[in-house]
Amino acid sequence: MKNYLQALFTAVALFLSTAAQAADIVIVHAGRLLAVPGGEVAQEQTVIINGGVIERVADGYLSETEIDSGEEDTVTIHNLRDYFVMPGFIDGHVHITSESNPQSRLQRVQMSGADVAIRSAGFAKKTLMAGFTSVRDLGAGTTDAVFALRDGIARNDIVGPRIFAAGSGMSVTGGHGDGTQGYTDEIAHILHSTGVCDGVAECRKAVREQVRRGADQIKLTATAGVMSNTAAGLEQQFFDDELKAIMDTAHSMGRRATAHAHGVNGINAALRAGVDSIEHGTYLDNESIRLFKRNDAFLVPTILAGITVAEWAEDPNSFLLPPQRAKAAEVGPKMLDMARRAHEGGVKIAFGTDSGVSKHGENAREFSLLVQAGMTPMEAIRSATVIGAANLGQSDTLGAITPGKYADLVAVDGDPLTDIRELEDVDFVMKNGVAYKTP
Residue-range domains of the chain with CATH: 18-87+400-437 (2.30.40.10), 89-391 (3.20.20.140)
At 102 the pLDDT is: 80
Residues 6+ apart with CB under 8 A from 328: 226, 309, 310, 312, 313, 320
In the structure, what pLDDT confidence band is assigned to residue 350 with cuts at 50, 70 and 90?
Answer: very high
In whole angstroms, give the CA distance from residue 382 to residue 390. Answer: 11
What pLDDT was estimated at residue 12?
A: 44
**What pLDDT, on a 0 to 100 scale, did the predictor assign at position 180?**
61
Kindly state the average pLDDT of the residues 72-90. 94
Q: Is 19's pLDDT higher than 50?
A: no
Contact 435, 429 (CB under 8 A): yes
Considering only residues 306 and 87, tell me which one the structure prediction assigns the higher pLDDT: 87
**Does 144 or 247 have the greater pLDDT score?**
247
Percent of the chain with pLDDT over 70: 89
Quick: pLDDT tens for 27-55. 999 999 999 999 999 999 999 999 999 99
State which of 22-26, 99-103, 315-319, 414-418 shows the largest mean pLDDT. 414-418
Please state, for a pLDDT cut of 90, what percent of the chain lies above it: 70
Question: What's the rounded Cα separation, in Å, for the pair 332 and 429?
Answer: 31
pLDDT digits (tens, 9 = 90+) for 177-222: 766 666 676 776 666 678 899 999 999 999 999 999 999 999 999 9
* 182/380: higher pLDDT: 380
What is the pLDDT, as a whole number, of residue 20? 46
Of 10-24, 61-75, 230-244, 351-365, the range with the highest mean pLDDT is 351-365
Q: What does the alpha-carbon distance between residue 282 and residue 323 come to, in Å, rounded to a whole number?
A: 18
- Residue 24 confidence (pLDDT): 86
> Regarding predicted confidence, which is higher, 84 or 191?
84
Quote the pLDDT of residue 60.
Answer: 96
- Dist CA 33 CA 320 (whole Å): 44
Single-letter code of the amino acid located at 310: A
- How many CB atoms are closer than 10 A to CB 201? 11
Confidence of residue 62 (pLDDT cuts 50, 70, 90): very high
Confidence of residue 21 (pLDDT cuts 50, 70, 90): low
pLDDT value for 311: 83
pTM for this predicted structure: 0.90
Residue 392 has pLDDT above 70, yes or no: yes
How confident is the model at residue 128, as a pLDDT?
Answer: 98
Residue 16 predicted with pLDDT over 50: no
| Residue 32 bridge partners (DSSP) | 43, 84
